């Protein structure tokens, strides 16, 4: 597939008040071809366990209204419930012994295992991130990154672009497995055990925010077992019929994201996540993947711009390992 370059732009904004008549704060959506008019100002900080608006961290490059693979998260609560999933770690490249415990060491070990993903439809395209888990090209990402795509391609850390096929998806857990065609000798990451994480532990995030490949940020685990509720991905026909409740180029479409929702437990981090980080890696200081970045809370300012405010969310690696067999079997 032909490579496409992306110019970072200001993200779109979405107001649930306009779309649903509710009182939630505005959520941010990724960038359109042109900057939209000023959006609403975000509400104040919510109390614990109150719903807040979130947005999936996927960068949409829409050629027409309705394009791209993005959807809005409904809420995240403070409820804490034990995660019982357990999976066998997949062993990849470890952090060099001299660099263990450093952001630079983690980045050097895991950057070769991260990819930028482009998903294209007749209406437009979107970019996200992914993590290589086998040397022959198996890649874990978010379902919302590739959902409804006609074609999928991946850009490796060395700049090569390969066509990829969707192997299996789990919309309920917002996970997908794709495989790069003709890949061999790739650097695979190590899937760690998220159940061993502790609040306050340092982590590193790698992805392609705003199409900027190989971006590294760092932070800590802010909380564990956050219940994140999302509206399940609408069908392709719905997107192509202007049913997305976002602002595209200043035009408001008060569509419906559907009644079906799904909830998964997430790792909360203050590592900077922005549109395009979806599907990327959240990594511990041993270089193990302990989460797949999926969402961020990003209130819109007076200018309509939005970005990371230190509230990011990742799907635990234990969840990934628990469903990996089903994804490989082609579950949809």
Q: What percent of the chain has pLDDT over 90?
A: 46
SS (H, E, C) 3-17: CCCCCCCCCEEECHH
Which of 116-125, 266-275, 285-294, 296-305 has the least mean pLDDT?
Answer: 296-305
Domains and their CATH numbers in the chain: 10-332 (2.40.10.120)
Q: Identify the pLDDT of residue 124.
A: 84
Which of 58-72, 92-106, 157-171, 211-225 has the least mean pLDDT?
Answer: 58-72
Which residue is catalytic, options 74, 120, 170, 174? 174
**pLDDT of 293 higher than 90:** yes
pLDDT band at residue 45 under the 50/70/90 scheme: very low
CA dist 287 and 96 (Å) reads 9
Do 206 and 110 form a contact (C-beta atoms < 8 A)? yes
Q: Identify the pLDDT of residue 90.
A: 57
**pLDDT of 286 higher than 70:** yes
Supply angle C-alpha 307, 111, 87, rounded to 5: 95
Q: Identify the pLDDT of residue 231.
A: 58
The question of whether 278 is a catalytic residue gets the answer yes
Question: Concatenated DSSP letters for 228-283?
Answer: EEEEPPPPHHHHHTT---SEETTEE------S-EEEEEEEEE-S---TT-TT-EEE
Which residue is catalytic, options 6, 24, 144, 170? 144
Which residue is catalytic, options 113, 147, 278, 317? 278
CA dist 213 and 5 (Å) reads 11
Q: Which residues contact 68 (CB under 8 A, 6 or more apart)?
A: 30, 58, 60, 61, 62, 121, 123, 124, 125, 126, 239
The question of whether 270 is a catalytic residue gets the answer no
pLDDT band at residue 296 under the 50/70/90 scheme: confident
Q: Identify the pLDDT of residue 212.
A: 87
Do 64 and 124 form a contact (C-beta atoms < 8 A)? yes
CA dist 85 and 65 (Å) reads 39
Q: pTM for this one?
A: 0.68
Query: What is the tens place of the pLDDT at every residue in 138-161?
Result: 999 999 999 989 999 999 999 999
CA dist 252 and 23 (Å) reads 18
The question of whether 298 is a catalytic residue gets the answer no
Q: Identify the pLDDT of residue 250.
A: 26
Mean pLDDT taken over the chain: 72
How do strand 138-141 and strand 124-132 relate by DSSP bridges?
A: antiparallel
pLDDT band at residue 123 under the 50/70/90 scheme: confident
Query: What is the tens place of the pLDDT at every residue in 5-31?
Result: 444 433 333 333 433 444 443 333 343
- Nearest partner of 216 among 147, 162, 287, judged by Cα: 287
């Amino acid at each position: 597939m032909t490579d496409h370059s992306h110019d970072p732009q200001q993200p779109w904004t979405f107001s649930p008040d306009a779309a649903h008549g509710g009182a939630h704060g505005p959520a941010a959506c990724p960038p359109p071809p042109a900057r939209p008019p000023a959006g609403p100002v975000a509400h104040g900080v919510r109390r614990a366990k109150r719903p807040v608006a979130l947005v999936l961290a996927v960068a949409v490059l829409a050629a027409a209204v309705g394009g791209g693979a993005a959807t809005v998260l409904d809420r995240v609560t403070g409820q804490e419930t034990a995660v019982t999933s357990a999976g066998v770690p997949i062993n990849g490249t470890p952090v060099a012994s001299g660099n263990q415990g450093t952001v630079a060491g983690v980045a050097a070990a895991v950057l070769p295992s991260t990819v930028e993903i482009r998903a294209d439809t007749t209406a437009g395209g979107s970019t996200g991130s992914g993590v290589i888990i086998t040397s022959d090209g198996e890649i874990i990402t978010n379902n919302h990154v590739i959902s409804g795509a006609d074609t999928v391609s991946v850009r490796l850390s060395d700049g090569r672009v390969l066509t990829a096929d969707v192997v299996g998806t789990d919309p309920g857990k917002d996970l997908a497995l794709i495989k790069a065609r003709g890949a061999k000798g790739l650097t695979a990451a190590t899937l760690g055990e998220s159940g061993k994480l502790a609040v306050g532990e340092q982590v590193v995030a790698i992805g392609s925010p705003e199409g900027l490949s190989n971006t590294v940020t760092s932070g800590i685990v802010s909380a564990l077992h956050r219940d994140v509720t999302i509206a399940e991905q609408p069908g392709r026909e719905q997107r192509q019929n202007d049913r997305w409740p976002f602002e595209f180029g200043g035009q408001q479409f008060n569509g419906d994201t559907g009644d079906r929702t799904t909830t998964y437990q997430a790792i909360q981090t203050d590592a900077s996540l922005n549109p395009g980080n979806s599907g990327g890696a959240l990594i511990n200081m041993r270089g193990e993947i302990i989460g797949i970045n999926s969402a961020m809370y990003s209130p819109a300012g007076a200018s309509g711009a939005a970005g990371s405010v230190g509230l990011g969310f990742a799907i635990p690696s234990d969840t990934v390992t628990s469903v990996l067999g089903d994804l490989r079997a082609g579950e949809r």
